[in-house]
Amino acid sequence: MLKKNLGLRKGQLDLLAGCPPCQGFSTIGTRNKGNKNDPRNELVFQITRFVEVLMPKTIMMENVPALIKDIRMNKLVKDLETLGYIIDKKVLNTADFGVPQSRRRMILLASRKKGLSIDSQNQNLEDVVTVRNAIGNLEKAEESKDWLHNSLVNYKEKTIKIIKAIPKNGGSRTDLPIELQLNCHKKITGFKDVYGRMNWDRPSLTITGGCTSASKGRFIHPEEDRAITLREAALLQSFPRDYKFYSSSSKQEIATMIGNALPPKFIEYHAKGIVKNIKK
């Protein structure tokens, strides 16, 4: 039915790209172990189902790093090899591909032709792009003509005091005086990046759907006493400066879209290798 609706013959599709749900493999929020019993984990095998029907020329799959060591990945690779695909898979950091963000992702590439690999481009990758490179020249938030850059969170007085007390350019909640530390933080040693400031001269840490909240990660501006704006988050994900989001969407919906996105600059590198392989 899918082939009929798309008007495709078996073997005609250039690329099948997919990202099965990552929550069960992710170490965020699961005490660094993931959830092996999450039923969504089995959706990895939907890749095989689509491949058997469509037999695409190339395949690209991305996910969190933990999937690369999961038994499901071993089975998926064997199934694809049985179908005649040559596989390459690696865990990569987007900061090594011109993205102003340190974000580790697993990439799987597969092709029915030789020559498609993670390193098939053999191009010179860009120097590390920093937070300053990405957002340092923006106009002041709330004074912009860009509504995404005017999207600041209104904090309670205590939260404002906490943010102001975080040292500029890379400080974190561990630098706070005892009277400003939250009770929940006094009881744990982990999650040190919440209420953390970005460092101007390094890539940001992973941008998530909570990217405009100071309490959900290292999302405080390097100098100003506020969390980053939606536009700043998008730029740190390597979206183009003029990229448009629907203004009818809520701020949280846009933050989720930005945080869940695979950085465009990162996947551009792999897309060029895929195009090169298809045109052989």
| 8 A C-beta contact, residue 215 and residue 159 | yes
The C-alpha angle 239, 234, 203, rounded to 5 degrees, equals 95
Active site (annotated) includes residue 211: no
Q: How far apart are CA 59 and CA 82, in angstroms?
A: 14
Axis-axis angle for helices 46-54, 71-82 (nearest 10):
10
Catalytic residue among 19, 22, 184, 211: 22
Strand partners, 111: 58, 86
Phi, psi of 275 (to 5 degrees): -60, -45
- Contact, 269 vs 121, CB < 8 A? yes
Phi, psi torsion values for 273, nearest 5 degrees: -65, -35
**Residues in Cβ contact with 233 at an 8 Å cutoff, skipping those fewer than 6 apart:** 207, 211, 212, 219, 255, 258, 259
Q: What are phi and psi of 232, to 5 degrees?
A: -65, -40
Q: CA of 276: how far to CAs of 8, 44, 54, 111, 234, in Å?
A: 22, 26, 21, 12, 28
Strand blocks (E) in the chain: 15-18, 58-63, 86-93, 104-111
Q: Could you list the active site residues?
A: 22
